[in-house]
Structure 1
């Protein structure tokens, strides 16, 4: 009867790496992903937000709506991580979803009369959210792969 020799060093190394993986804090990883996704959504939304155009000499500049976008801190509720992207500018909702107006009314701010009874929304946040939702699986997979490669 012959006994073979076997090198178990690679199995021991794998065991050590798996033990390291069990000590990894996935809460930190999930918070990092949530922050990355929120930054990406914020960037996409800001790019889609229209900037107001005012007559020369009015002393007004556009961009208030763009500057109004903010991201909250990551909040963990049960097994879910939440981040809120919002805009505190008073008219943000009307630009996002559209609004009614009275045709023929004169508006001194823009020095013109209103023509349409309905102004369609721009859906800056809505479109950005839908676009990001399609990208999320690929982004998370890439981050998770890089994270696991560091461990292994």
Structure 2
């Protein structure tokens, strides 16, 4: 009768343990954190691009209302607190965070408007549009690094 030889299954057992650890990993939390990180990057870009004037429009990106944007809170405090309470919505396989500016003239600054005497046009600043396009170009690299780090925590080390 022929001999089949010896087989070492220790590596397969290690892989099984790592796969079990991966199955227990919290992908929901990972996806929410990734969405918040992308939203924070977008917010940083759009705030930097927003014209200052009296500061209301800039503060509006993290405000819930026009009145809150007009209040005298410091911008730095508001941005740091913003993502602690931001809501991440899940629709199927998609995660969504709404970045809005409730200041009533924000859309006019973004997209442009007629002059007060209706004889000319003031070009828009496109601060959100440009920031979205920039982030869209960077998002895959950011998510790849984040996913590699997440999977490294599961598969890295023995």
TM-score, normalization by structure 2: 0.77
Q: For each residue in 1:66-94, what CA deviation from the matched residue of structure 2 results, as whole angstroms up to 9, or x when unmatched?
A: 11102641011222111010111111111
Say how many residue pairs are matched: 132
> Is 1:69 the counterpart of 2:70 in the alignment?
no
Q: 1:22 is matched with which residue? A: 23
Query: Aligned-pair RMSD on alpha carbons?
Result: 1.8
23-32 or 3-12, which moves further after superposition? 3-12
> Is 1:88 the counterpart of 2:105 in the alignment?
no
Superposition deviation, residue 133 in structure 1: 0.6
Say which SS state the counterpart of residue 87 (structure 1) adopts: coil
Structure 1: runs of 5+ lacking an equivalent: 53-61, 106-115
Which of 95, 100, 124 is the aligned partner of 2:114? 100
Structure with more helix by fraction: 2
Structure with more strand by fraction: 1
Say which SS state the counterpart of residue 95 (structure 2) adopts: strand
Structure number with greater CO (CA < 8 Å, separation at least 6) is: 2
Q: Which has the larger radius of gyration?
A: 1
Superposition deviation, residue 3 in structure 1: 5.3
Q: For each residue in 1:14-69, what CA deviation from the matched residue of structure 2 results, as whole angstroms up to 9, or x when unmatched?
A: 111011111212111111110000000000000000111xxxxxxxxx21111110
> Is 1:47 the counterpart of 2:70 in the alignment?
no
